[in-house]
């Protein structure tokens, strides 16, 4: 069926008439050929060709606008008046936006006149950093076509208890099967090509499709077509689906391109069994139009399908794939729970259904993942989930065997026969993530993020376990840009960050989630910065503490690459000159007494303690020493004793305990500590407590081989008592066979006795100059007689020799560059490279580098401003002709020369709390005063710049300070005080007691001040009794001084007394509220004598003279959350008339009704199916202006359900813990944590 006449509209209308095909089922539109000897069945549908199905806003769209401007010419795209369009939400908070739909009233150039005003703002930001382009602009998709596949409205049908499941997954393809979570199914039409068939579906609109709860019934389904390069789903609009959009099942080399999706329940695109290979998903746009928190729609989630990860409120995604060996190019996903979810370990990581135990998805090669954009998702944008360890495979043999296991006995293992790592280095290239909660994965090795643009995500990178690349040379992050969020870095090996830019409030966390449950190895990685750039000095480093024991989980070190060093005054490097390494303060006994030359010093002594979490900075390289042990028990194992000798003299002795993750006698156990490289000036000697030898089968690991391969071999003078270390030195190139290949293959019996100081010889260094750079997947040996493709093309795997054009290129020889006609000059970049198609934008053609403006990026007023004109700040352009100075924290004035530095004690913020818009002044003695903007007095310095009176006051100090001397931190409340810390002004003792005192009142040496929230002028609400709401009211009921809330399930939240909680939380009725608002500090300084303790009112409760309680109770067992826990709704069946007019006007959407909560509450079902293993953990964040202490409760469940579905670790149990917004500059970026 082909319809190119734009004046005509055709409908394929599928009736709900009770008829049923023996294979395709009911309400089906499909093709099926059961006889392989006959010609293939063909389903070929093609509407009027549309040159582009989507575009982007070129300028922001404000609330109330009745026109929008696109980057492409709508007429050239093939759009018409009367077409229905949808614009994607761009809200900062993930999955909380709502799309808006309009009809086009008029087209004038690039301007569309809309059928109604907009109800919200929509962003259009085009940004270039570090040579990378991010088109952070709302997607606009066209949902109208002149060929429409539609049918009768959805029907809720009762389940049939006589049906049994097909593959042990609680779902049947024969109809609606009854289960504990399903009593009805929601049935619309479905489209399918099965077995010996070809599907060509182009330029059509599909609606009212999908059959929720019935296997194999989706909007468009390629069912087991095997190698099917002629199958294509292109330029279609999918809307109102009750079970996924496009499903690729047992099919290879198909094309799904330029489709648009809206209101598709579950995954918009879904790759099903794990054997699927080399399918091309190109330039599709999937928008979830609903908020995840909508209590009727629940975003785009749907319960009752065959996969609660891909479709339900547990982990719904724009695209879900079991097999990673497929290609994703230039797609854009918005506002779903997750963007791209590759879950290679699902269904046991061995394939499912027809490929069960026939595929090893965890080890399959990575396809081409390039140029995709993921934004505004509630959880992850890019998401590889828990196990991605690509290994070497024969792709041609794999494809010939229908993507299933081949005869190679090693194809599903991490090792060759001699213990060499079989890793296949892979890359994700030029992808963009913004406004998501997380970005990354749990466990992944041999995976590089290349040219990754990640901005304003809570977690810019989220990674738990990685490894050294099998090629011995490659970087993990290369050429990227990261801004405004946290870098949650993984355990294991040398993690290399190369040629990457960090800008604005970036927090580096070592050992993310290490030793939480079974995550991590020994929590002792090395993070290597190789010529990275820090644009502003507002970054932080910290270690994820293991607070479950007295042992240390902070063995990670941060280092600069061996051929890169800090220089004086260079703020673009991570450490102050001459320091090149950073270790945790917990290893002070190994480092601070290393020599008398101050090789290692505390960061606090350099005035940068906050930036480095009071860590230790060293001017010589640090490396990690690991001793993997076997058969030890963490509780009874002897300590490892470490000695450092120099010139025959014992310099220092230190010791460290056995460290174990998971089972105290499992494989993840050993000792770790940092060592200093000093050209053999010192020698390290180790032995076990009591003078015991190091056993022969333990594995000693020093440094990492990449240092010797990429730079130069590293050696250390070293002795291990009871072991033979050749020549008394060990090398970074020592034996490492069988030691680590993935998080499931490491330290087995074959590894015993390997490593340094063993009978196994060192490996020869790899010459990284001869190692090819990691490229996206291609098979060059298959093209042009083995010489590969040339120019702007690559050899397409499995194609039999086809050279395919790179992104943005076309023509017979890929000679046409879509960007060739665009002259963006040296400071601009073409925006069209990853937008697909052959139509060049006519607006926003060029994306300018920072500070460059104009249509062709040739305007930069700051280019004529000298570096000293902005002092301690940077020049920023106000427009194409004007500029101004933007000051760094702690500096103010038109030229950023006014400062408190050198005037007030300590480093910024000079012992004063930093409160967003509150004006805080400090005096020379460090005291603090809170005033309005214009009330500054002489001899006071404004800490937070802006407004009149900024900078230093004049004259000599002639009167006593209005406030007492600033409080010097005697201890760290987060580390020294037991238990969790509330947010209010309080003092904590080293023994864990808490006192809610006046912030200005000095305490003794055993007390330290937790710097919390600013005073409030809001009235204190009356307390609410918890007796009838909270059970069993465990929140320290006897303490009248605690501000705390308790939940109906018994958890505690140490929130501000004045913050309003939701209805599930109530204030434990301790002390009475105040009659009137709490007063803010005085508006002007007092002239009190120096002995005055508190010249201003206390910002919180009246002080007590001593702590009245020990530390608060544990963190809430369940944090308050706005995330939905109920199920999505299903539509109510309604009668529908046959269409009589073009769908330029929208087909009516389904009506949503609530689904019975008990029936479809997947959360409760999973909990009932599992044995709960609860544990508490505490995660620390250092953020500008103070220390934020979180109590995070995570429930992990090892769940083995009957049947074929086995989940070693349900995502459901890795619950997101809500983080309270502290009003801090980056609090928005750390609002959730898993």
Q: How far is CA 971 from the centre of its chain?
A: 33
d(CA 896, CA 990): 40
pLDDT of residue 1067: 59
Tell me how far apart the alpha carbons of residues 1125 and 504 are, in angstroms, rounded to a whole number. 34
**Separation between Cα atoms, residue 1152 and residue 875, nearest integer Å:** 53
Do you find a cis peptide bond into 909, omega within 30 degrees of 0?
Answer: yes
CA distance between the termini of the chain: 50
Q: Supply the pTM of this predicted model.
A: 0.78
Q: How far from chain centre, in Å, is Cα 617?
A: 28
Q: How far is CA 829 from the centre of its chain?
A: 26
DSSP secondary structure string for all residues of 348-391: GGS--GGGTTT--GGGSPP--EES-EEES-SSEEEEEET-B--B
DSSP secondary structure code for residue 1081 in this structure: P
Q: Output the CA torsion sign for 679, 683, 686, 692.
A: positive
Q: What is the mean pLDDT of each run of 10 residues along the chain (1234 residues)?
A: 93 96 95 88 97 98 98 98 98 88 98 98 96 97 98 97 89 94 96 95 99 97 97 99 98 98 98 97 98 91 91 94 98 97 92 91 96 97 93 92 79 90 97 97 97 97 97 98 96 97 94 90 97 87 62 85 75 88 95 94 92 95 98 95 96 95 90 96 97 98 98 97 95 97 94 97 95 96 92 94 95 94 94 97 96 94 91 90 85 81 60 47 58 55 43 29 32 43 45 48 54 37 54 48 54 49 55 31 28 28 29 30 30 32 40 30 32 26 24 24 26 29 29 29
Distance between CA atoms of 530 and 498, rounded to whole angstroms? Answer: 5
- Other C-beta atoms closer than 10 Å to the C-beta of 628 total 25
- Distance (Å, whole) CA 966 – CA 1001: 10
| The pLDDT value given to residue 886 | 87
Which residues, listed in sequence order, are joined to residue 286 by a DSSP beta bridge?
A: 261, 333
Check the CA dihedral 99-105-106-107 and report its sign: positive
Rounded Cα–Cα distance for residues 986 and 1008 (Å): 9
Q: How far is CA 509 from CA 462, 491, 573, 1070, in A?
A: 10, 11, 17, 37
Distances (CA, A) of 960 to 924, 925, 967: 11, 10, 17
Contact 267, 293 (CB under 8 A): no
- SS3 for 144-188, per residue? CCCEEEEECCCEEEECECCCCCCCCCCCECCCCECECCECEEEEC
Which distant-in-sequence residues (6+ apart) come within 8 Å of 679 by Cβ? none
pLDDT of the residue at 1026: 59
Q: How far is CA 951 from CA 291, 1085, 1223, in A?
A: 45, 17, 24
Give the Cβ contact number of residue 558 at 10 Å: 27
- How do 1052-1053 and 1045-1047 pair as beta strands? antiparallel
- Among 286, 291, 263, 293, CA closest to 1149: 263
| Beta-bridge partners for 1193 | 1176
Distance of CA 342 to the CA centre of its chain: 14
Q: What SS3 state is found at 708?
A: helix
Residue 1046 CA to residue 1112 CA, distance in Å, equals 13
Whether residue 656 contacts residue 639, with contact meaning beta carbons closer than 8 Å, is answered with yes
User: Residues with Cβ < 8 Å from 710, sequence gap 6 or more?
Assistant: 472, 473, 768
CA distance 525 to 559: 11
Would you mind telling me the total number of residues written for the chain in this entry? 1234
Task: Say which residues have a Cβ less than 8 Å from residue 550's Cβ, sequence separation at least 6.
Answer: none
Q: Which of 53, 54, 234 is nearest to 135 (CA)?
A: 54
Burial status of residue 735 (CB atoms within 10 A of its CB: 0-12, 13-18, 19 or more): buried
- Give the separation between CA 537 and CA 534, rounded to whole angstroms: 7
* β-strands 616-618, 600-602 pairing: antiparallel
pLDDT for the residue numbered 724: 95
Please say whether the beta carbons of 364 and 345 come within 8 A.
no
Tokens of 153: 């409205």
Domain locations in the chain as residue ranges: 54-147, 575-620, 621-770, 778-817, 860-958, 981-1112, 1160-1233
Q: Where are the alpha helices (DSSP H) in 760-879?
A: none
Distance CA 539, CA 485 (A): 10
CATH fold for the domain made of 54-147: M1 Pyruvate Kinase; Domain 3 (2.40.33)
Which pLDDT value is given to residue 905?
Answer: 56
pLDDT confidence of residue 553: 72
Tokens of 559: 């280092």
Contact 199, 233 (CB under 8 A): yes
pLDDT at 1109: 30
CB 1180 within 8 A of CB 545: yes
SS3 (DSSP) at 604:
helix
């Amino acid at each position: 069926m082909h319809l190119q006449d734009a004046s005509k509209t055709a409908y394929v209308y599928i009736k709900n008439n009770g008829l049923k095909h023996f294979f395709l089922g009911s309400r089906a539109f499909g093709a099926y050929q059961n006889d392989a000897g006959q010609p293939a069945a063909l389903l070929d549908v093609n509407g009027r060709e549309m040159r582009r199905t989507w575009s982007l806003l070129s300028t922001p769209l404000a609330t109330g606008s009745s026109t929008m401007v696109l980057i492409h010419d709508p007429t050239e795209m093939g759009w018409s008046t009367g077409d229905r369009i949808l614009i994607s939400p761009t809200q900062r908070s993930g999955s909380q936006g709502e799309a808006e739909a309009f009809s086009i009233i008029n087209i004038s150039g690039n301007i569309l006149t809309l059928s109604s005003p907009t109800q919200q703002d929509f962003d259009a930001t085009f940004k270039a950093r570090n040579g990378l382009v991010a088109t952070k602009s709302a997607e606009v998709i066209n949902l109208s076509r002149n060929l429409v596949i539609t049918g009768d409205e959805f029907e809720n049908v009762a389940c049939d208890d006589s049906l049994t499941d097909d593959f042990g997954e609680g779902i049947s393809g024969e109809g609606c099967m009854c289960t504990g979570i399903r009593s009805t199914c929601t049935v619309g039409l479905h489209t399918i090509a099965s077995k010996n068939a070809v599907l060509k579906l182009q330029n059509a609109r599909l609606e009212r499709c999908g059959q929720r709860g019935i296997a194999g019934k989706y909007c468009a389904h390629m069912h087991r077509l095997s190698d099917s390069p002629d199958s294509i789903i292109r330029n279609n609009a999918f809307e109102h689906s009750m079970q996924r959009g496009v499903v690729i099942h047992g099919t290879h080399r198909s094309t799904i391109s330029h489709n648009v999706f809206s209101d598709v329940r579950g995954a918009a695109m879904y790759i099903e069994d794990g054997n699927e290979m080399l399918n091309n998903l190109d330039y599709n746009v999937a928008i979830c139009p609903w908020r995840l928190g909508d209590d009727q729609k629940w975003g785009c989630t749907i319960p009752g399908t065959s996969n609660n990860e891909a479709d339900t409120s547990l982990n719904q995604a724009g695209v879900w794939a079991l097999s990673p060996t497929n290609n994703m190019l230039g797609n854009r996903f918005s506002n779903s729970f997750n963007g791209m979810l590759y879950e290679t370990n699902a269904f046991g990581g061995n394939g499912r259904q027809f490929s069960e135990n026939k595929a090893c998805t965890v080890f399959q090669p990575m396809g081409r993942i390039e140029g995709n954009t993921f934004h505004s998702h509630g959880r992850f944008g890019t998401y590889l989930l828990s196990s991605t360890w690509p290994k070497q495979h024969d792709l041609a043999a794999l494809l010939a065997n229908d993507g299933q296991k081949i005869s190679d006995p090693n194809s599903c293992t991490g090792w060759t026969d001699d213990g060499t790592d079989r890793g296949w280095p892979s890359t994700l290239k030029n992808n963009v993530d913004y406004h998501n909660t997380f970005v990354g994965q749990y466990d992944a090795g041999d995976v590089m993020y290349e040219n990754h643009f990640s901005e304003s995500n809570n977690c810019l990178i989220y990674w738990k376990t990685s490894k050294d690349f099998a090629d011995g040379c490659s970087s993990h992050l290369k050429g990227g840009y990261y801004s405004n969020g946290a870098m949650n870095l993984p355990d294991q090996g040398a993690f290399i960050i190369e040629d990457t830019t960090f800008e604005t409030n970036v927090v580096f966390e070592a050992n993310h989630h290490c030793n939480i449950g079974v995550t991590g190895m020994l929590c002792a990685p090395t993070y290597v910065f190789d010529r990275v750039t820090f644009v502003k000095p507002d970054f932080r480093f910290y270690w994820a503490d293991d607070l479950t024991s007295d042992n240390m989980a902070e063995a990670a070190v941060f280092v600069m690459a061996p051929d890169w060093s800090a220089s004086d005054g260079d703020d673009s490097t991570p450490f102050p000159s001459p320091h090149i390494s950073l270790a945790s303060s917990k290893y002070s006994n190994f480092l601070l007494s290393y020599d008398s030359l101050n090789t290692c010093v505390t960061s606090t002594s350099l005035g940068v303690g906050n930036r480095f979490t009071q860590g230790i900075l060293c001017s010589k390289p640090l490396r990690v020493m690991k001793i993997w042990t076997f058969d030890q028990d963490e509780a009874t194992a002897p300590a490892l004793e470490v000695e450092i000798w120099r010139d025959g003299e014992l310099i220092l002795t230190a010791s460290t305990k056995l460290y174990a993750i998971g089972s105290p006698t499992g494989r993840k156990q050993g000792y770790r500590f940092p060592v200093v490289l000093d050209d053999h000036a010192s020698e390290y000697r180790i032995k076990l407590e009591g003078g015991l030898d190091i056993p022969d089968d333990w594995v000693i690991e020093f440094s990492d081989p990449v240092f010797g391969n990429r730079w130069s071999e590293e050696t250390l003078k070293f002795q291990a008592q009871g072991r033979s270390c050749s020549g008394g030195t060990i090398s970074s190139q020592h034996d490492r066979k069988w030691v680590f290949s993935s998080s499931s293959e490491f330290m087995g019996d074959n590894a015993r006795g390997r490593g340094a100081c063993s009978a196994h010889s060192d490996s020869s260094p790899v010459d990284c100059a001869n190692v090819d750079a990691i490229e996206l997947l291609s098979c060059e040996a298959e093209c042009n007689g083995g010489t590969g493709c040339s120019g702007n093309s690559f050899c397409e795997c499995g194609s039999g020799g086809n050279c395919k054009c790179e992104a943005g290129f076309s023509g017979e020889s890929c000679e046409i560059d879509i960007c060739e006609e665009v002259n963006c000059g040296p400071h601009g970049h073409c925006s069209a490279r990853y937008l697909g198609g052959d139509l060049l934008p006519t607006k926003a053609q060029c994306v300018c580098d920072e500070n460059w403006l104009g249509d062709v990026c040739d305007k930069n007023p700051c280019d004529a401003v000298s570096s000293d004109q902005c002092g301690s700040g940077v020049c920023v352009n106000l427009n194409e002709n004007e500029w101004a100075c933007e000051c760094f924290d702690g500096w103010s004035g038109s030229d950023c020369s006014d400062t408190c530095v050198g005037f007030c004690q300590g480093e910024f913020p000079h012992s004063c709390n930093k409160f967003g818009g509150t004006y805080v002044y400090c005096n020379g003695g460090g005291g603090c005063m809170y005033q309005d903007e214009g009330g500054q007095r002489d001899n006071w310095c404004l800490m937070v710049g802006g407004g009149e009176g900024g900078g230093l006051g004049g004259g000599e100090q002639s009167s006593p300070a209005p406030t007492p001397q600033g409080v010097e931190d005697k201890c760290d409340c987060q580390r020294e005080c037991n238990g969790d810390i509330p947010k209010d002004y309080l003092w904590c003792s080293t023994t864990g007691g808490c006192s809610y005192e006046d912030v200005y009142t000095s305490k003794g040496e055993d007390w330290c001040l937790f710097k919390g929230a600013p005073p409030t002028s809001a009235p204190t609400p009356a307390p609410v009794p918890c007796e009838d709401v909270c059970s069993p009211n465990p929140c320290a009921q006897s303490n009248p001084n605690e501000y705390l809330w308790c939940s109906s399930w018994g958890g505690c939240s140490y929130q501000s007394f004045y913050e309003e909680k939701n209805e599930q939380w109530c204030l434990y009725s301790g002390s009475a509220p105040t009659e009137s608002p709490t007063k803010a500090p005085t508006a002007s300084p007092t002239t009190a004598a120096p002995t005055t303790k508190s010249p201003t009112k206390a910002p919180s409760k009246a002080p007590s003279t001593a702590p009245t309680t020990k530390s608060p109770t544990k963190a809430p067992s369940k944090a308050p959350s706005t995330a939905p826990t109920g199920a999505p709704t299903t539509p109510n069946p309604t009668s529908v008339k046959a269409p009589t007019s073009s769908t330029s006007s929208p087909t009516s959407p389904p009506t949503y009704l609530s689904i019975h909560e008990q029936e479809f509450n997947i959360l409760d079902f999973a909990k009932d199916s599992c044995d709960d293993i609860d544990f508490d953990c505490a995660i620390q964040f250092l953020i500008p202006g103070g220390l934020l202490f979180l109590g995070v409760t995570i429930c992990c469940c090892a769940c083995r359900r009957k049947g074929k579905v086995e989940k070693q670790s349900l995502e459901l149990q890795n619950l997101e813990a809500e983080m309270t917004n502290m009003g801090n500059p980056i609090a928005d970026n750390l609002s959730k944590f898993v």
